């Protein structure tokens, strides 16, 4: 039976990314040596690293004055690298979920922080709107998409200070005006590559302004200077990222992917709103295009396990909701085909008819 991968991450990747990476793991570009075994100092892999950076800049229309680097440690390491490099006087954070909360916690180790707004009291079911960004802070940190709770910031903010954004789970899913950000970072394992590489897009002029000493490996300038090759990079995930970026470019780029993502999410949200058994868990205007959370209505709560088993039998993988929300979560990342959404909707409708 065909399986439909709705996992929140690591998650579905384009088939050509998987196939091409597997081939390269056996023989990298005809060298007779597998991708896992090659030296990252070879011209062949240096070309891969350069292409990864070039495709980022092309697909996101990154302006001059920004650098793209690829690091280890996951997005969670960026929770400390960001304040290490940027926090001098004060940092401002918008708290919209688990990962935003963790980023704020780390920043407190480096200096004064302010939580400008939070939706925690409502279990992060919406994105706060009426808040004031402090002009005396060094940066304003946001998490653009919240995988656990299914909310998303859909527009680029106008801010009086540099915006730092964790875009781990919605990078390349919609157009982004990079010029409105000071730094964008994210783990690769949602929309880009297998876990193991983290991307950072940083405005060069923001760096080198803090008075503290920064350890070499935690200084963004180290990795900019050496083209992400100061130490051995995560070779396989970077190669896979290039395959995904080529795939995205061939599909028509970020704008084309955005239209497809809106179509996919729209179909599923429409069914959630129509189906007598289910309802969504977030404010309608803040619904994520990447992580769609829904639960059974109160009178059908006792059917949760039954529906999960039913959907699993129909080929759905990874739809169980996070324990913080319960219910179900369909992660609809770029590489998830529309047919997976249609299959899930069919399962929901069939289950509805049976009850």
Catalytic residue positions?
A: 99, 166, 190
Q: How far apart are CA 261 and CA 255, in angstroms?
A: 10
Sign of CA dihedral 134, 283, 294, 325: positive
What is Dmax (Cα atoms) for the chain?
Answer: 65
Sign of the torsion formed by the C-alpha atoms of 73, 76, 80 and 85: positive
Provide CB contacts within 8 A for 269, sequence distance 6+. Answer: 280, 287, 292
What residues form DSSP beta bridges with 201? Answer: 68, 184
How many Cα atoms are found within 13 Å in the side-chain-facing hemisphere of 71? 25
Burial profile 225-242: b = 16 or more Cβ within 10 angstroms, e = fewer: eebbbbeebbbbbbbbbb
């Amino acid at each position: 039976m065909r399986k439909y991968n709705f996992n929140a991450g690591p998650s579905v990747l384009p088939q050509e990314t998987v196939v091409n990476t597997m081939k390269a793991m056996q023989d990298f570009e005809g060298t007779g040596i597998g991708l896992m075994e090659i030296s990252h100092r070879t011209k062949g892999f240096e070309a891969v690293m350069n292409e990864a950076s070039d495709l980022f800049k092309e697909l996101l229309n990154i302006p001059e004055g920004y650098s793209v680097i690829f690091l280890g440690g996951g997005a969670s390491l960026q929770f400390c690298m960001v304040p290490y490099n940027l926090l001098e006087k004060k940092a401002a954070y918008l708290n919209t979920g688990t990962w935003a909360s963790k980023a704020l916690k780390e920043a407190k180790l480096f200096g004064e922080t302010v939580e400008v707004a939070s939706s925690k009291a409502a279990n992060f079911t919406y994105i706060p709107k009426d808040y004031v960004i402090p002009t005396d802070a060094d940066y304003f940190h946001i998490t653009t998409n919240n995988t656990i709770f299914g909310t998303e910031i859909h527009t680029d903010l106008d801010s009086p200070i540099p915006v730092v954004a964790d875009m781990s789970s919605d990078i390349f899913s919609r157009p982004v005006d990079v010029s409105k950000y000071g730094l964008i970072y994210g783990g690769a394992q949602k929309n880009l590559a297998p876990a193991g590489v983290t991307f950072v897009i940083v405005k060069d002029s923001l760096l080198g302004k803090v008075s503290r000493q920064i350890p070499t490996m935690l200084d963004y300038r180290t990795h900019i200077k050496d083209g992400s090759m100061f130490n051995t990079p995560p070779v396989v995930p970077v190669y896979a990222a290039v395959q995904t970026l080529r795939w995205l470019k061939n599909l028509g780029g970020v704008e084309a992917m955005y239209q497809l993502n809106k179509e996919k999410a729209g179909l599923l949200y429409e069914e959630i709103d129509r189906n007598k058994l289910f309802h969504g868990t977030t404010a309608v205007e803040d619904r994520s295009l990447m992580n769609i959370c829904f639960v059974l209505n109160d009178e059908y709560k006792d059917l949760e396990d039954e529906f999960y088993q039913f959907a699993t039998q129909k080929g759905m993988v990874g739809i169980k909701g996070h324990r913080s929300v319960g219910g179900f979560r369909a992660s609809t990342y770029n590489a998830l085909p529309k047919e997976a959404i249609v299959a899930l909707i069919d399962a929901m409708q069939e289950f509805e008819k049976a009850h």
